[in-house]
Structure formats: structure tokens, C-alpha cells
Amino acid sequence: MLFDSHVQRLLDASVALVNDLTDGRARGRDYTAPLGPERCRAVAEALSVPERHQVTQAEADELAGTARRLRTVFEAAAGGRLDDAAGSLNALLLARGARPQLDRDPDRGWQLHFHGRDDSLAVGWGAGCATGLAVLLGGGLAGRLGVCAAAACDRVYVDTSRNSARQFCSTACQNRAKAAAFRARRAR
């Protein structure tokens, strides 16, 4: 499944924000989201923010709140609760003031963005990420949103495979699950 590069970037950013900025379980271990300056660095990395722009603590904290709201969308969609996912997304779209607009990029021409030119980093990315997920939900692709099926992992993913068969957030979790299944079969 291929999305245009801008929507794919928004989907990748949504996954990165949720996985990096929300507590839970990751690859079999407890995961605590970073705080303080580490949170700022995690946001900058998740969004590929150029080094010339310093992510402020306020922006990082606001995006951590957005990440928690995005997690509810992934969890609801993965659980087949599309009404809940849509309700959460609609509330986030409204809160972030998402609105389509064409902006001219000197290097790449006109690009469709989902926030105002003067919106803050947190509002702009929040609106964009919510819109990217809305494109999936509204396009009948909610089944592409997933939560890792590996034991002791709750990280999220967007399934871009051709056959929509992805179940794990990473190859590491897939390998852990396969090894555990192999050990269980041998123990019988």
C-alpha cells in the first residue's frame, strides 16, 4: 500500500510520536516516555526537525499530549471500534484546527498541508498527523492501523504491506513471537 509522500510522512510521524512519547510496553519491556530535554530530542527525531529549529519544552509537552490522543485512535481502530477511532480523530482535528491549504515550497512546488502557515510546530504536526490518520479511516483503510501483537509490546504501526498482513511493530517483535511459538511447540 503506497500513500503519497506527504501522507506517508504524516503517518510515519504519527507512529513515531505515539511510540516514542507514550508509556507502555516495547519489545518485551516496560517503556517510560522521556521527559524534559530528552522529550524535546525525541520529538525532534520523530519529526525530523531541522537542527536550526530547537523544539521547546512546551512544544514537546503539547505533542506528547497529542501522541496520547493518537494512541487512542490506533487502539480503537486495531480493536475494530471505528466509531471510537473516528470520534477521537474528529475531536483532535477540531482541537488542532486542521484545514487543508496549499503552500509553496521553493524546492518542491505546491504542497498540501493541513495547518496554517503561522501555526506552532505542535499545532501544525498535530493537525497533520490527525489528518493523515483521518485519510486512512475515511478511505476504508482503518485495518491498516495496528498495535503490536507480540507479548509485552503495545507499540503501534501503519501496515503498508500489499496483503495487509502485518501484525508486529518491528522485526524484533516478530522474531520474538516466532521464537516463543517455536519454543512452545518443542515443549509439547
pLDDT band at 185 (very low <50, low <70, confident <90, very high): confident
At 24-53, the pLDDT tens digits run 999 999 999 999 999 999 999 999 998 888
pLDDT tens per residue across span 94-105: 999 998 888 888
CATH of the domain at 132: 1.10.3300.10
pLDDT digits (tens, 9 = 90+) for 84-140: 999 999 999 999 999 888 888 888 788 788 887 778 999 999 999 999 999 999 999
Residue 63 has pLDDT above 60, yes or no: yes
> Following DSSP, what letter does each residue of the chain receive, concatenated?
----HHHHHHHHHHHHHHHHHS-EEETTEEE----HHHHHHHHHHHTT--TTSPPPHHHHHHHHHHHHHHHHHHHHHHTT-HHHHHHHHHHHHHHHT---EEEEETTTEEEEESS-TT--HHHHHHHHHHHHHHHHHHTT-GGGEEE--STT---EEE--STT-----SSHHHHHHHHHHHHHHHHH-
In the numeric block, which cell numbers belong to residue 137? 479511516
On average, the pLDDT of the chain sits at 92
Full residue range of the structural domain in which residue 60 is found: 5-187
CB 137 within 8 A of CB 82: yes
Q: What confidence score (pLDDT) does residue 151 get?
A: 92
Number of structural domains the chain divides into: 1
Say what the pLDDT of residue 107 is.
Answer: 84
Give the integer Cα–Cα distance in Å for 28 and 177.
Answer: 10
Instruction: State mean pLDDT over 45-73.
Output: 95
| Residue 162: predicted pLDDT | 87
Contacts of 88 by beta carbon, 8 Å cutoff, 6+ apart: 69, 72, 73, 76
Residue 71 binned pLDDT confidence (cut-offs 50, 70, 90): very high
Among 50, 87, 88, smallest CA distance to 68 is for: 88
- State residue 187's pLDDT score: 84
Question: What is the Cα–Cα distance from 156 to 75, expressed in whole angstroms?
Answer: 8
| Least confident interval from 77-86, 164-173, 175-184 | 175-184
Percent of the chain with pLDDT over 90: 72
